[in-house]
Structure 1
Amino acid sequence: MVELLLLVGIGVALFVGFNIGGSTTGPAFGPAVGAGAISKLLAGGLMAVFFFIGAWTIGRRVVDTLGRELVTDPGVFTIETSIVVLFFIGGALFVGNYAGVPASTSMTAVGAIAGLGIATGALDWTVMGEIAVWWIVAPLVGFWVSVMIGRYLYPTINRWIAITSSEGALVELDRSGPIPIPRRGPNTTRREFIGTVVLVSIGCLMGFSSGTSNIANAIAPLYGAGALELNPLILLGGAAVAVGALTIARRTLDTLGNDLTDLPLTAAIVVAVVASGIVIGLSAIGIPASFVIIATMCIVGLGWGRATRTVTVTESVRGEAKPNVSVGALAAEAPGEEAPGIGEEDPEDIPAAADLFDPATTGRVILMQNLVPVLATAGAYATFWVLFRFLW
């Protein structure tokens, strides 16, 4: 019977890992996919590799935190309770992935474990409170930093970087020698190539950061129950994440790379830098980072800041100067053209704000990202309250 329960627990943990791969690949590589820098298949492969590296190295520390420190009595983790916790984590994440909205795996997992802790009176409220405070502060910081960059600094940054997406392949293999060597495509400029490498590298760094915090969400309950050693659990969890990154993650890549906001390559780099900086900072102080929420709010903030930026232009009609007028919009980024600074936009070249920032999609994303952790917490609490009072 115990062996059967263990197999069920491993199966549910694999299901959770599958959904983690689906929900975290979008924030990490959505900007790169949306900018046309890499394909969805390559994004999934890179996510699988760097997630595993992060999980194998730093991730085991977070596993110990969620599996043994969030609750005052680790004895509440049994194989049975672990299965129930993992069921709510995986089920809630699947709802978000099915809707094409990446939910926060950290918030969902901690919420489900907190539901168990509250129902059994074993939740460490001090640890929970510290985590919750940072979950509120960090996305707000990412949002407003991105808004300010999009509203006031984006044209200057774009002039510095001046990266546009050229036609044709970004990289081609030189097969003239015995070993194929990757080289720039025939139409790829040096600045475009370097900028794209930076963008993808930051996505890899975010994938690594995700592995350091999110592997615990799939395996911490089983580890807390003493069901398996840590290394086999990390291997199983990493494999499940890889499958999710290569399959169901395509929906979240579409949402964060294409549907949420128009994200040219320069903007994608800005989002990746801001989001990864905050995630790394939280990991450094031992907080399970709400990776998805931070990255999503950075995308929303930059899109909103760019779409609502007020600039001043002067038109000349029939030789007569017209007064300065306000135009809320973003500088157009035509391929091969240098984006003008504030006050230099041609109004005819400025796309409408609705083409740059989709309020309906944004509302759906924010709603689902808050609803999914609530579902996991409430469901776990209600289930364990009934089980411990009437059945166990």
Structure 2
Amino acid sequence: MVTTLLLFLIAYFFATNIGASGAAASMGITYGSGAIKTKKIALLVCGIGVFLGAVLGGGAVVKTLGSGIVPENVISVTIALIILSSACISLFIANLSGIPLSTSEVTVGAIVGVGMAFNALFIHTLITIVIYWIVLPTTAFLLSFFANRIIRVIEKKFPSLSIGKWQTILATAVILVGFLEAFSSGMNNVANSVGPLVAAGLITIEQGTFTGGLFVALGAFFLGGKVIETNGKRITNLSLLQGGAVSGIGATLVIIASYFGVPVPHAQVTTCSILGVGTSDKGRKIWKEAIIAKLVKTWVISPILSLVISYNFVKFFVDFDLSGIAILLILMTIVYLLSLWKPDEKTQSIYKEKVVPKNIGGN
């Protein structure tokens, strides 16, 4: 009973933090551009978007995380607790080390670690997920690169797009794109918190997407203020159309992945969209070594760290085997050393170009 209660507390705490960090950031363009001028309204729209995304489209990813990577009968209440605890610990260690992680990556990594410990892993599903992790960011980069070329031509031929009645039209479009991005976040990310609960037989998929979506939405609304303020007010040199393209491409690709039940790191897709725009404008000079370092740290280390932690938790708490502790300590040391490899300020400004335009309302 105590283990089950602790599992639910960790799962919904995880969901709340997903909403506070990732989901709230999806409305950064909308708030920062002035399309929605009130922070609470922007967070409310975000909350509604992630909740609807979770309820209407989150079931496929929940099923994948619950039974698509390892057999469902492997995930007991204790194992579900190990999976979510490993994911949370990985995020905590990353925060201390200054490495931003994806909840999808650490959750998948934790589940894979469990599968390896029990020698029960669906390799085909894992390979599919990894392929998506490579193909989607690459596609986002290419689409943004060519979309930006078109946008630059449009802005040059029609400079009046930034004034008059076009402001209202563009503002409405940005709001819709922000809502779509929040919707996609709910579709894909709610599974990270409730997938193990469903696999353990504690709740159904429908109950998981509803309750998980509710906590993600609450996290976005009540705890997402600082995130949306930070992201929304980092005014960069991207235009309104460029920002809409970045969010629109990212949201569309994540929705497609969610439809097929594949958990994907939303942040990576968005980052590659930004790099696509930056490369289109600035050429090869945007590809600094520090950017590559950040990508490597985020995309490779995070799922491996979570995998090793969950694997050792299973060995220690289930099999009472301490043989993997040395590997865990070595990996944590590597993570710490990599955290010292930081991008310079100029490079960081490129990475931060998630949020875009200057206030369209002149305020």
Q: Pick the TM interval, shorter chain.
A: 0.7 to 0.9
Q: Which has the larger radius of gyration?
A: 1
Aligned length: 319
| Residue in 2 that maps onto 1:224 | 199
Note the C-alpha offset of 1:67: 0.7
CA contact (8 A) 2:31 2:39 kept: yes
Note the C-alpha offset of 1:98: 7.7
- The share of aligned pairs that are identical, in percent, is 29
Q: Give the one of 150, 155, 169 matched to 1:153.
A: 150
| Residue in 2 that maps onto 1:20 | 18
Runs of 5+ consecutive residues of structure 1 not aligned to the other structure: 165-187, 310-352
CA contact (8 A) 2:44 2:221 kept: yes
Note the C-alpha offset of 1:245: 1.5
Report the CA distance shift for 1:91/1:358 in structure 2 as closer, same or farther (over 3 A). Answer: farther
Report the CA distance shift for 1:97/1:124 in structure 2 as closer, same or farther (over 3 A). Answer: same
The 2-side partners of 1:244 and 1:264 are apart by 29
- Which one has the bigger helix percentage? 2
CA contact (8 A) 2:63 2:205 kept: no
Report the CA distance shift for 1:362/1:250 in structure 2 as closer, same or farther (over 3 A). Answer: farther
CA contact (8 A) 2:60 2:260 kept: no
Q: Deviations over 1:40-71 (max 9, x none)?
A: 43332222111111211221222122111211
Report the CA distance shift for 1:97/1:304 in structure 2 as closer, same or farther (over 3 A). Answer: farther
| Residue in 2 that maps onto 1:372 | 302
Q: Which amino acid aligns with 1:153?
A: I
Note the C-alpha offset of 1:255: 6.1
Q: Which amino acid aligns with 2:124?
A: T
Note the C-alpha offset of 1:110: 1.2
Alignment of structure 1 residues 168-179 onto 2, 5 Å: none
Q: Which secondary structure state, in structure 2, belongs to the residue aligned with residue 286 of structure 1?
A: coil
Q: Give the one of 166, 175, 178 matched to 1:203.
A: 178
The 2-side partners of 1:5 and 1:33 are apart by 41
CA contact (8 A) 2:315 2:321 kept: no
The 2-side partners of 1:40 and 1:94 are apart by 27
Alignment of structure 1 residues 244-263 onto 2, 5 Å: 244-250=219-225, 252-253=227-228, 256-257=231-232, 259=234, 261-263=236-238
TM-score (norm 2): 0.76
Superposition RMSD in Å: 3.1
Q: Which amino acid aligns with 1:141?
A: T
Report the CA distance shift for 1:240/1:360 in structure 2 as closer, same or farther (over 3 A). Answer: farther
| Residue in 2 that maps onto 1:59 | 58
| Residue in 2 that maps onto 1:273 | 248
- Which one has the bigger strand percentage? 1
CA contact (8 A) 1:260 1:361 kept: no
CA contact (8 A) 1:34 1:257 kept: yes
| Residue in 1 that maps onto 2:358 | none
Q: Which secondary structure state, in structure 2, belongs to the residue aligned with residue 389 of structure 1?
A: coil
Q: Deviations over 1:328-353 (max 9, x none)?
A: xxxxxxxxxxxxxxxxxxxxxxxxx9
The 2-side partners of 1:75 and 1:284 are apart by 25
Report the CA distance shift for 1:254/1:299 in structure 2 as closer, same or farther (over 3 A). Answer: farther
Q: Which 10-residue stretch deviates more, 232-241 or 121-130? A: 232-241
| Residue in 1 that maps onto 2:7 | 9
The 2-side partners of 1:360 and 1:41 are apart by 38
Q: Deviations over 1:151-202 (max 9, x none)?
A: x3332132458543xxxxxxxxxxxxxxxxxxxxxxx732111111111111
Q: Which amino acid aligns with 1:92?
A: S
TM-score (norm 1): 0.71
Alignment of structure 1 residues 304-383 onto 2, 5 Å: 304-308=279-283, 362=291, 366=295, 369-370=298-299, 371-383=301-313
Q: Deviations over 1:112-155 (max 9, x none)?
A: 111111111111001110111111111012123323443x3332
Report the CA distance shift for 1:238/1:205 in structure 2 as closer, same or farther (over 3 A). Answer: same
| Residue in 2 that maps onto 1:285 | 260
| Residue in 2 that maps onto 1:319 | none
| Residue in 2 that maps onto 1:111 | 109
Report the CA distance shift for 1:359/1:65 in structure 2 as closer, same or farther (over 3 A). Answer: same
Q: Give the one of 202, 213, 218 matched to 1:238.
A: 213
